[in-house]
Amino acid sequence: MSRLSGLLTPELRAALEAMLAKLAAPGACNPQDENPVVDATPDQDAVRRDHRTTAQRNHDGLLA
């Protein structure tokens, strides 16, 4: 594991927040799902099965 820290420009922060709002939402990009949801809105079953922390979801969203 590697720790990451630093300063972001407002433009980069806005872009990251928009990306993570989609890709790190509960149920999205879950590696435990047989077919992870990447290009669509996760259904309620995918959200209910997702027990990852926010940090884990952010990691998986960035990885996707």
Q: What is the DSSP string of the chain?
A: ---------HHHHHHHHHHHHHHTSTTBS-TTSSS-B-SSPPPHHHHHH----HHHHHHHHHH-
pTM: 0.86
How much is the pLDDT for 32? 95
Structure tokens at 19: 């990306």
How much is the pLDDT for 11? 98
d(CA 5, CA 55) in angstroms, rounded, equals: 14
Q: pLDDT tens, 16-61?
A: 999 999 999 999 999 999 999 999 999 999 999 999 999 999 999 9
Domain residue spans of the chain = 10-63
How much is the pLDDT for 23? 97
How much is the pLDDT for 26? 97
